[in-house]
Amino acid sequence: MKRRQLLSAALLGPLAFGPAARAFAQPAAGPGAATAFDDGTVPALARRLAAAPYRKPAADLPAALDAIGYDQYRDFRYKAARALWREQGLPFQAQFFHRGFLFKDRVAIHVVQGRRSRPFAFSTDLFDYAPQPVPELGDIGFAGFRLHAPLNDPGRFDELCAFLGASYFRALPRGLGYGLSARGLALGTGEPEPEEFPVFRAFWLEQPDTDADHIVVHALLDSPSVAGAFRFRIVPGAETVFDVDARLFPRRTLALAGIAPLTSMFHFDAGDRVGIDDWRPAVHDSDGLALLTGAGEQVWRPLANPATLQHSGFQERDPRGFGLMQRKRAAADFLDAEAAYENRPSLWVEPLDDWGEGEAHLVEIPTADEYHDNIVAFWRPRAPLAAGRESRWRYRLHWCDRHEWKPALATVAATRAGAAADGARLFVIDWRGESLARLADDAEPPLQASASAGELRNAVAYRNPRTGGWRSSFELVPGDAAAIELRLVLGEPSRPLSETWLYRWTA
C-alpha cells in the first residue's frame, strides 16, 4: 500500500478521463454521442456487470507511457485553462489525471447535463508535457480526476478532492491539507489471503448549476467479487461533506467486506517510541480511532504501530459514527515544517441508516517508515453480503479539523507511556474539555480504570499546574500477559466526565 507515491502523484496536476464505458455494458454510442442518464443508470450498469463474469479492465498503454517513472509522470500536467466548466464560470471545475506510472488502468469519464450523459474524450492538447516532447497518443482515456472550488477564498479555485487509483479518494476541508484517504470498499484487509482492491472503472460528473453549493459524482465499481454503484454529493466548507450512497452487487458471498473504509498512516507518537530513532516528537496522519456507539458511549482508541499485525473489533449495533482523527494541531507537536502533519484532516463516518449488528474494525500494520499507509478502519457487518443480492449503505463523510459528538465530555488530548519501577509501564493521559475545566483545582474526580490482565496501581486524576488542564495516570504491571486491553473513564459510571479511553498494550 504505497500511498505516499499515490498521493504525491495526485498533487502533480495531470488531467483527463475518457469514454471507455462501452467495454462494460455501456450503450453503444459514437464519440460524443449523448445517452439518457438518471440516478438509476449506474446501479443498472452495476447490476448487469455483477451478473456477468468478471473482466479485468484494460491496462495496456503505448510503450512511451508503460514504463515511465515518477519524475516523468509528474511532467504530465493538466492545463488549468482547459478545466471542465471553467469557461462557463461555474462554481466547480474538474481536471483530469493522465495514465501512466502507477496509474495504468483506463477510467471512463462522462459529463452529465440535463439528464443526458456524454463521454469526455482524452486529448494531448489538454496537457502540458514540458520538458518532455508531446507524445503521439490516441484516445487512451484517463486515470482519474480532481475537483476545484472556491474553498478557502471566494476569488480562487482550490483543489477540493481527488479520485485516483483503485477506489481511493480524498478531500480537503477549509484551511487544511491532504492526509488520509477513503475507499469505495475494502475486501479482506489485513487477512492472510491477498487483499482484493475494487476499482472505480467509470465516473459521471453532473454539471452544477451556476449558484450550486454542491456537486454530484457517480462512480461504477468493479472487482472479481463485486460490482457497485456509488453516488457522491460533495459540499465544500469548513467541513467538506460527502453524502455517499453505495449500492453493492456481490458476485460471491462477502464475509470480509469493509464498508466506508478509511486508510491512514501512523508511525509513532509519545504513547510508544520503542525502537524509534527520530528527532521529531510524533509522525502520523491520524492519532486515534473515534467511535460513537449506538448506546451513546464516546470512545477514543489511540493508534499504534505494532510489532505484528493487529486486528481490533469493537462490537456494535447501529453505530452513530466512527472515524480516524488527527487531534494534534500545533506545529510543535510534530516539528516537521515540510510534512506539516498538524494540517492533516480528520475523517468521520456518519451512518445515515441503521446498520444493524457488526463491528467498527481497526487494522494496524507494522511499518518502519512514514511512507506507507498502515492503518485501516471500516465497518464490518456481522452478516456476510450475499451473492446475487443488492446491499445498500448510506453514510456521510465529514472531512474536518475535529468533529464534535458529545461536547459536554472531556476528550483525550494526548496519551504518553514509558517505563516505571519494577518492570511496570506508566501511562499518562491528558484531557481537555469544559466538564473538567469547571472542577475546583483540588477536586478528585472519580476514575474508572480496568485491565483485562495484569495489575493496575496508583491510578489518579489531578490538575496539571503547568498547563491548567487535567491529567490522569496509572501504572500497569503486566506480569506474564502478552497483550492487555486497558480502559479508563473519568467520572461516575452513570455520569461520566470524559469519553472512554481504550488502549491495547503488547509485550
Q: What is the phi/psi pair of residue 342, to 5°?
A: -65, -15
Report the percentage of the chain scoring pLDDT > 90. 85
Burial class (CB in 10 A: 0-12, 13-18, 19+), 259: buried
Whether 149 shows a pLDDT value over 50: the answer reads yes
The 3-class secondary structure across 248-285, one letter per residue, is EEECCCECCEEEEEEEECEEEECCECCCCCCCCCCEEC
Residue 286 lies in a domain: yes
Residue 297 lies in a domain: yes
Whether 2 shows a pLDDT value over 60: the answer reads no
Per the model's pLDDT, the better-predicted residue between 233 and 28 turns out to be 233
Among 349, 366, 400, give the residue marking a domain's end.
400
What pLDDT does 4 receive?
44
What pLDDT does 438 receive?
86
Whether 104 shows a pLDDT value over 60: the answer reads yes
What pLDDT does 503 receive?
97
Does 224 share its domain with 348?
A: yes
Residues 3-22: what's their mean pLDDT?
35
The 3-class secondary structure across 394-432, one letter per residue, is EEEEEEECCCCCCCCCEEEEEEEEEECHHHCEEEEEEEE
- In 3D space, the residue among 222, 279, 237, 219 whose CA is nearest the CA of residue 24 turns out to be 222
Residue 245 lies in a domain: yes
Does 344 share its domain with 467?
A: no
Residues 143-156: what's their mean pLDDT?
97
What pLDDT does 453 receive?
98
Rounded Cα distance between 373 and 364, Å, is 10
What pLDDT does 404 receive?
81
Does 35 share its domain with 122?
A: yes
Among 374, 400, 426, give the residue marking a domain's end.
400
Q: What are the cell numbers at 235?
A: 459540499
What pLDDT does 115 receive?
94
Q: Is 301 within 8 Å of 291 (Cβ atoms)?
A: yes
Q: Is 132 within 8 Å of 125 (Cβ atoms)?
A: no
Residues 466-495: what's their mean pLDDT?
95
Whether 189 shows a pLDDT value over 80: the answer reads yes
Residue 60 lies in a domain: yes
- In 3D space, the residue among 432, 458, 433, 436 whose CA is nearest the CA of residue 445 turns out to be 436
Does 80 share its domain with 213?
A: yes
Does 84 share its domain with 17?
A: yes
Per-residue pLDDT tens over the stretch 253-269: 999 999 999 999 999 99
Does 309 share its domain with 331?
A: yes
What domain count does the chain have? 2
Residues 291-302: what's their mean pLDDT?
96
Rounded Cα distance between 411 and 431, Å, is 6
Does 218 share its domain with 109?
A: yes
Does 153 share its domain with 279?
A: yes
What pLDDT does 10 receive?
41
Q: What is the CATH number of the domain that holds 68?
A: 2.70.98.10
What pLDDT does 67 receive?
85
32 falls in which pLDDT band (50, 70, 90)?
low
What pLDDT does 484 receive?
97
Does 199 share its domain with 277?
A: yes
Among 370, 400, 430, give the residue marking a domain's end.
400
- In 3D space, the residue among 154, 129, 125, 153 whose CA is nearest the CA of residue 139 turns out to be 125
CA distances from 449 to 327, 419, 446, 479, 488 (A): 23, 19, 10, 18, 4
Residues 228-248: what's their mean pLDDT?
98
User: DSSP readout, 357-372?
Assistant: EEEEEEEE---SSSSS
Q: What is the CATH number of the domain that holds 420?
A: 2.60.40.10
Greatest CA separation for the chain: 78
What pLDDT does 117 receive?
98
Per the model's pLDDT, the better-predicted residue between 29 and 405 turns out to be 405
Taking CB atoms within 8 Å and a gap of at least 24, the contacts of 423-428 are 423/477, 423/478, 424/457, 424/475, 424/476, 424/477, 424/478, 425/475, 425/476, 425/478, 425/505, 426/473, 426/474, 426/475, 427/473, 427/474, 427/475, 427/476, 427/486, 427/503, 428/471, 428/472, 428/473
Q: Is 147 within 8 Å of 161 (Cβ atoms)?
A: yes
What pLDDT does 36 receive?
97
Per-residue pLDDT tens over the stretch 446-467: 999 999 999 999 999 999 988 8
- pTM score of the predicted model: 0.93
Whether 76 shows a pLDDT value over 50: the answer reads yes
Whether 8 shows a pLDDT value over 60: the answer reads no
Residue 69 lies in a domain: yes
Residue 367: count of CB within 10 angstroms of its CB: 18
Residues 151-165: what's their mean pLDDT?
97
Residue 406 lies in a domain: no
Residue 133 lies in a domain: yes
Does 239 share its domain with 331?
A: yes
What pLDDT does 403 receive?
86
Whether 56 shows a pLDDT value over 80: the answer reads yes
Does 319 share its domain with 429?
A: no
Whether 6 shows a pLDDT value over 70: the answer reads no
Does 475 share its domain with 392?
A: no
Q: In 3-state terms, what secondary structure has residue 332?
A: helix
Q: Which domain holds residue 160?
A: 3-400
Residue 405 lies in a domain: no
